[in-house]
């Protein structure tokens, strides 16, 4: 600011001209002057030594009898300390931080085809228009780093098995070992060291794929750090924000494509992409078994008098002829199959809500045919959510004096035709003012797509028929006068 007036300097710096004049008269750089004298240090080295001695005693004292911040402060006050308790607590925290040992880790090297790492995580997606929290099973080949991320509504054992099966199929082979946490889906009890008592179903899965297990020590995520990082990567990049899909299959197809896109990257310290390393690692993976593992939970149940079995608080219907019988449930992550012996008699979408009824109207049609008067109040009929044309057709039949038994016969047509096909036939029958079972069945028989299928199969059947040539001499028996020789 040399060569400028005090007024110009004040204007340039945005301060008062008097302030500029005050500093212009000073002969040395001004320093901050305390208004009060500095307080003496109250936590002297002697008191610090007392604190450190008591913290050292804590190493050998019983847990409930150790020195705390409050008891150390009270003891120091008795020794003449005049400072505050927060000052003592801050020094205690400083000493504990200095003594805290930071763990060190050894970098590991892996062989191709040696192992995969497995872990669960969560993510939020929009599924069929609704925002839901999904469980994501994250699997990664340790040598190549090839990831697989699969979403499920649950972390149940059957979902984990299905995810591992799909992951091995997508990775095109089976490694020698899998490393995972002490998940309850796999571990029944933690024994000494690295020994584990494994769940019977998990043992069956491992035996089917001939793969060993390696369980981490409790609270030792570093032992599978690769997949720990994959869970975060899956949440941020592979699933990402605002991921949308209509179905679980569509969602998992999207996630697999995202895994393939991620695998085009070249990881740090490598000259090859993850995809290129995966192609090399495939040569070291064992082939998949001839048939996949049946990823279900099996339970023996009994159907009740209303033809339902109970599984995990939910009730699922079976055909009425299987009421009051012992049956078997095979629970997959997405469906419930019900068996009588080796025959599958029912299949439902799996419900994860509690105390729900899942009733299939078709299971009750034979009994309703015998008791048609119960149709109106029948819970399976009310829960069926049939298209409006069904109710219009039934009302028209009732107006013509036709019984519900005939309408139930129309519902039985679903065993041969789809709902859309039957709906179309009902609309045509209403338009033709022929609201009866016979008209609907005839309309279904002459639908172009079904007719083409029927004519093709009929032609194939006719081709295999052989007709023996008749003997014309047999017609002589009809001539007047008897048989001509």
Asked if residue 137 and residue 254 are part of one domain, the reply reads yes
Q: What are phi and psi of 430, to 5 degrees?
A: -65, -40
Average pLDDT, the chain: 86
Does the pLDDT of residue 483 top 50, yes or no? no
Same domain, 122 and 252: yes
pLDDT digits (tens, 9 = 90+) for 166-216: 999 999 999 999 998 888 888 888 887 778 888 999 999 999 999 999 887
Q: What is the pLDDT of residue 241?
A: 84
pLDDT band at 227 (very low <50, low <70, confident <90, very high): low
Rounded CA-CA distance 453/449 in Å is 6
Which segment of 11-20, 50-59, 265-274, 360-369 scores lowest on mean pLDDT? Answer: 11-20
At 61, the pLDDT band (50, 70, 90 cuts) reads confident
> Does residue 481 form part of some domain?
no
Kindly state whether residues 350 and 438 are assigned to the same domain. Answer: no
Q: Name the β-bridge partners of 314.
A: 311
Q: How confident is the model at residue 288 (pLDDT cuts 50, 70, 90)?
A: very high
pLDDT at residue 452, rounded to an integer: 39
In a shared domain, residues 209 and 132: yes
Domain count, the chain: 5
Q: Residue 173 class from Cβ within 10 Å (0-12 exposed, 13-18 middle, 19+ buried)?
A: middle
pLDDT at res. 450:
43
Name beta bridge partners: 224: none
Q: Is the pLDDT of residue 474 over 80?
A: no
Whether 320 shows a pLDDT value over 50: the answer reads yes
CATH code of the domain containing 184: 3.30.420.10
Structure tokens at 45: 């080295």
Which of 107-111, 167-171, 278-282 is least confident? 107-111
Show the DSSP H helices in 303-403 as ranges: 365-370, 379-383, 388-399
How far is residue 434's CA from residue 443's CA, in Å, rounded to a whole number? 11
Q: Specify if 106 maps to a domain.
A: no
483 found inside a domain: no
pLDDT at 190: 82
Residue 279 within a domain = yes
pLDDT in tens, 147-180: 999 999 999 999 999 999 999 999 999 999 999 8
CB 148 within 8 A of CB 253: no
> Which of the listed residues 358, 379, 402 is the one where a domain comes to its end?
358
Question: Within this chain, do residues 206 and 154 fall inside the same structural domain, yes or no?
Answer: yes
| 235 and 147 assigned to the same domain | yes
Tell me the C-alpha distance between 449 and 265, whole Å: 49
Rounded Cα distance between 196 and 209, Å, is 19
User: Is 70 exceeded by the pLDDT of residue 473?
Assistant: no
Higher pLDDT, 1 or 351: 351
Q: Select from 262, 284, 306 the last residue of a domain.
A: 284
Q: Give residues with Cβ within 8 angstroms of 84, minimum separation 6.
A: none
Greater model confidence, 19 or 345: 345
Across residues 229-240, what is the average pLDDT? 87
Q: Is 472 helix (H, G, I), strand (E, B) or coil?
A: helix
**Residue scoring higher pLDDT (264 or 195):** 264
Query: What confidence score (pLDDT) does residue 147 get?
Result: 95
The answer to whether residue 163 sits within a structural domain is yes
For residue 36, is it within any domain? Answer: no
Count Cβ atoms below 10 Å from residue 50 Cβ, excluding itself: 16
Q: Which of 233, 262, 284 is the last residue of a domain?
A: 284
Is 111 a residue whose pLDDT tops 90? no
Burial class (CB in 10 A: 0-12, 13-18, 19+), 295: buried
Q: Does any domain span residue 275?
A: yes
Q: Are residues 208 and 229 in the same domain?
A: yes
Residues 8 and 143 in one domain: no
- Residue 445: domain span: 369-463
pLDDT at 14 over 90: no
d(CA 18, CA 16): 5
Name the pTM for this structure.
0.69
In this structure, is residue 122 part of a structural domain?
yes
Whether 212 and 311 share a structural domain: no
Instruction: Say yes or no: 244 and 145 in one domain.
Output: yes
- Confidence band of 220 (pLDDT split at 50, 70, 90): low
- Tell me: pLDDT of 270 over 90: no
Q: Looking at the structure, tell me whether residues 132 and 260 fall in a common domain.
A: yes
pLDDT of 420 above 50 = yes
Return the sign of the alpha-carbon dihedral for residues 157, 159, 163, 165: positive
Do residues 92 and 202 both lie within one domain? no
**How far is 363 from 384, CA to CA, in rounded Å?**
12
Distance CA 74, CA 81 (A): 9
Directed axis angle between helix 69-78 and helix 45-57, to 10°? 130
Cα(91)–Cα(84) distance, rounded to whole angstroms? 12
């Amino acid at each position: 600011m040399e060569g400028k007036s005090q007024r110009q300097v004040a204007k340039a710096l945005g301060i008062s001209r008097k302030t500029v004049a005050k500093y212009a008269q000073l002969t040395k750089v001004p320093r901050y002057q305390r208004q009060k004298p500095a307080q003496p240090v109250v936590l002297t080295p002697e008191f610090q030594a007392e604190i450190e001695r008591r913290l050292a005693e804590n190493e050998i004292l019983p847990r409930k009898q150790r020195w705390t911040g409050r008891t150390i402060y009270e003891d120091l006050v008795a020794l003449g300390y005049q400072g505050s308790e927060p000052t003592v607590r801050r020094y205690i925290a400083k000493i504990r931080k200095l003594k805290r040992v930071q763990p060190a880790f050894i970098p590991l090297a892996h062989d191709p085809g040696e192992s995969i790492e497995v872990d669960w995580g969560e993510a939020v997606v929009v599924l069929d228009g609704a925002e839901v929290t999904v469980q994501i099973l994250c699997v990664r080949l340790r040598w190549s780093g090839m990831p697989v991320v699969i979403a499920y509504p649950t972390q149940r054992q059957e979902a984990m098995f299905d995810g591992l099966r799909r992951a091995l199929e997508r990775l095109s082979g089976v490694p020698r070992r899998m490393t995972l946490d002490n998940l309850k889906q796999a571990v029944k009890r933690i024994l000494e060291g690295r020994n584990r008592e494994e769940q019977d179903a998990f043992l069956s899965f491992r035996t089917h794929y001939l793969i060993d297990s390696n369980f981490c020590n409790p609270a030792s995520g570093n032992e599978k750090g690769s997949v720990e990082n994959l869970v975060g990567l899956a949440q941020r990049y592979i699933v990402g924000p605002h991921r949308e899909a209509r179905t679980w299959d569509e969602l998992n197809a999207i996630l697999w494509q995202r895994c393939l896109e991620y695998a085009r990257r070249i990881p740090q310290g490598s000259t090859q992409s993850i995809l290129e390393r995966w192609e090399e690692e495939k040569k070291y993976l064992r082939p998949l078994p001839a048939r996949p593992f049946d990823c279900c939970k099996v339970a023996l149940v009994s159907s009740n008098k209303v033809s339902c079995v109970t599984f995990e608080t939910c009730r699922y219907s079976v055909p009425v002829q299987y009421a009051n019988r012992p049956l078997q449930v095979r629970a997959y992550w997405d469906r419930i199959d019900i068996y009588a012996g080796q025959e599958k008699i029912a299949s439902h979408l799996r419900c994860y809500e509690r105390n729900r009824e899942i009733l299939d109207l078709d299971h009750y049609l034979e009994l309703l045919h015998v008791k048609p008067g119960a149709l109106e109040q029948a819970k399976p009929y009310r829960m069926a959510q049939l298209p409006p044309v069904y109710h219009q057709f039934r009302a028209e039949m009732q107006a013509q004096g036709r019984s519900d038994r005939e309408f139930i016969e129309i519902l039985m047509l679903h065993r041969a035709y789809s709902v859309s096909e039957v709906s179309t036939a009902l609309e045509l029958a209403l338009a033709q003012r022929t609201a009866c079972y016979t008209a609907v069945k005839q309309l279904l028989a002459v639908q172009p797509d079904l007719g083409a299928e029927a004519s093709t199969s009929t032609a194939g059947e006719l081709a295999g028929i052989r007709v023996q040539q008749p003997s014309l001499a047999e017609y002589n028996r009809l001539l007047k006068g008897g048989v001509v020789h």
